[in-house]
C-alpha cells in the first residue's frame, strides 16, 4: 500500500484564517509513505512543519524531498523541520538548478542572515542537495521520473512508481494562453497515474488577468488528467484568496465536468490521506 498525506495545499503564500479552516492555509507539502520505505516529501512549503510532528526527533530521521522549484512557497518550511535538525538525521533534497547559481547555493542564499538567523550549514543534520531536471532516479524502492514543467523559472514535476502504484506531482504549471495544448513532458509524467496532484490555482476569470503568472485553471487541471488517463486528480496549489466555500464550488464543478467516465476529482486539503 502507498499512502499520500497532504500537509500543505496552498500556493503563493500561507493564508490561515477562519475562511480557510477546512482546506487549510499552509503552502505546498505532501508526503508519500509505504511500508519498508523512508518517506518521500513533495515540496518543502510551510506544511513541512506539520509533517515534522509525525516524525522521530532522535536523529533517526531519513527522508527524500522532491522539490518542484525554489520559490518561497515551496521551500519556506525547510528550516522549520526539527526531525532533520538532529545529529544523525539525513534529508536528501532533489530539485532543478535555478540558473548558474545551483540548487545548494540558491537555498543557502534564501536561508541566511539577515533574512533568517541561521544558515542550513548551522543545522545539525546532514542535508544533501541533488540537481535534477530531465532525469530518472531510484529512491529506495521507488522509481522517480523527473521532467521539466512550464512555469516561471526552472521547474519540474515528478512521477513516483512504488509498490505497483504511480503518484504524479505537478504543483505549478503554466497553462498556454488558449488553455488547449499540454506539454508532452507533463503528459509523460501523468500517463495512467493512480493519483495526479496538479496545480489548480485559478478560475477562468482569474486566469484571463494572470495568464502569464505561472499557473492554470481548475478546468485545465482536469483536462490534463483526462488527456493522460490519470485515475484520480487532486486539485492543489489553491489560491490564497480562495476560501473554503469557493473551493467547495470549484471542486463540485470539476467533478460535474468529469462525469462518471472521467477521473475521480478530489479537492486537496490539509490532513487528507489517500491510500492507494
Distance CA 159, CA 236 (A): 16
> How far from chain centre, in Å, is Cα 167?
11
Cβ atoms of 96 and 103 within 8 Å: the answer is yes
What are the pLDDT tens digits along the chain (276 aa)?
Answer: 999 999 999 999 999 999 999 999 999 999 999 999 999 999 999 999 999 999 999 999 999 999 999 999 999 999 999 999 999 999 999 999 998 889 999 999 999 999 999 999 999 999 999 999 999 999 999 999 999 999 999 999 999 999 999 999 999 999 999 999 999 999 999 999 999 999 999 999 999 999 999 999 999 999 999 999 999 999 999 999 999 999 999 999 999 999 999 999 999 999 999 999
Q: What is the pLDDT of residues 187-234, one digit of tens each?
A: 999 999 999 999 999 999 999 999 999 999 999 999 999 999 999 999
User: What pTM did the predictor assign?
Assistant: 0.97
Q: How many angstroms separate the CA atoms of 70 and 155, rounded?
A: 8
Tell me how crowded residue 153 is: count the other CB atoms within 10 A of its CB: 12
For residue 101, the model assigns a pLDDT of 86
Cell of 194: 493512480
Q: Note the pLDDT of residue 99.
A: 83
Domain ranges of the chain: 3-275
Q: How far is CA 60 from CA 86, 90, 125, 215, in A?
A: 8, 8, 10, 37
User: Would you state the pLDDT for residue 100?
Assistant: 85
For 110-121, how does the pLDDT look when each residue is reduced to its tens digit (9 = 90+)?
999 999 999 999
Residue 9 contacts residue 47 (beta carbons within 8 Å): yes
Q: How far apart, in whole angstroms, are the C-alpha atoms of residue 154 and residue 159? A: 17
Q: What CATH homologous superfamily does 3-275 map to?
A: Ribonuclease Z/Hydroxyacylglutathione hydrolase-like (3.60.15.10)
Amino acid at each position: 500500500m502507498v499512502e499520500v498525506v497532504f500537509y500543505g495545499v496552498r500556493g503563493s503564500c500561507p493564508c490561515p484564517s477562519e475562511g480557510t479552516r477546512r482546506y487549510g492555509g499552509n503552502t505546498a507539502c505532501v508526503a508519500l509513505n509505504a511500508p519498508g520505505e523512508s518517506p518521500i516529501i513533495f515540496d518543502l512549503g510551510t506544511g513541512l512543519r506539520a509533517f515534522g510532528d509525525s516524525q522521530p526527533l532522535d536523529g533517526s530521521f531519513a527522508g527524500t524531498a522532491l522539490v518542484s522549484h525554489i520559490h518561497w512557497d515551496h521551500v519556506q518550511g525547510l528550516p522549520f523541520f526539527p526531525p532533520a535538525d538532529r545529529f544523525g538525521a539525513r534529508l536528501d533534497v532533489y530539485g532543478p538548478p535555478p540558473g548558474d547559481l545551483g540548487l545548494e547555493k540558491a537555498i543557502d542564499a534564501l536561508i541566511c542572515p539577515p533574512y533568517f538567523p541561521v544558515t542550513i550549514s548551522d543545522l545539525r543534520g546532514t542535508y544533501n542537495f541533488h540537481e535534477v531536471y530531465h532525469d530518472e532516479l531510484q529512491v529506495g524502492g521507488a522509481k522517480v521520473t523527473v521532467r521539466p514543467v512550464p512555469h516561471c523559472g526552472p521547474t519540474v514535476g515528478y512521477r513516483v512508481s512504488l509498490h505497483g502504484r504511480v503518484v504524479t506531482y505537478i504543483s505549478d504549471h503554466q497553462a498556454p494562453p488558449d488553455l488547449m495544448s499540454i506539454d508532452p513532458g507533463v503528459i509523460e509524467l501523468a500517463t495512467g497515474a493512480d493519483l495526479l496532484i496538479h496545480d489548480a490555482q485559478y478560475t477562468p476569470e482569474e486566469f484571463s488577468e494572470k495568464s502569464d503568472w505561472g499557473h492554470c485553471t481548475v478546468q485545465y487541471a482536469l483536462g490534463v488528467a483526462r488527456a493522460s488517463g490519470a485515475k484520480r486528480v487532486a486539485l492543489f496549489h489553491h489560491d490564497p484568496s480562495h476560501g473554503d466555500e469557493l473551493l467547495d464550488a470549484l471542486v463540485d464543478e470539476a467533478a460535474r465536468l468529469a462525469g462518471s467516465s472521467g477521473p475521480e476529482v478530489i479537492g486537496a486539503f490539509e490532513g487528507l490521506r489517500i491510500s492507494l
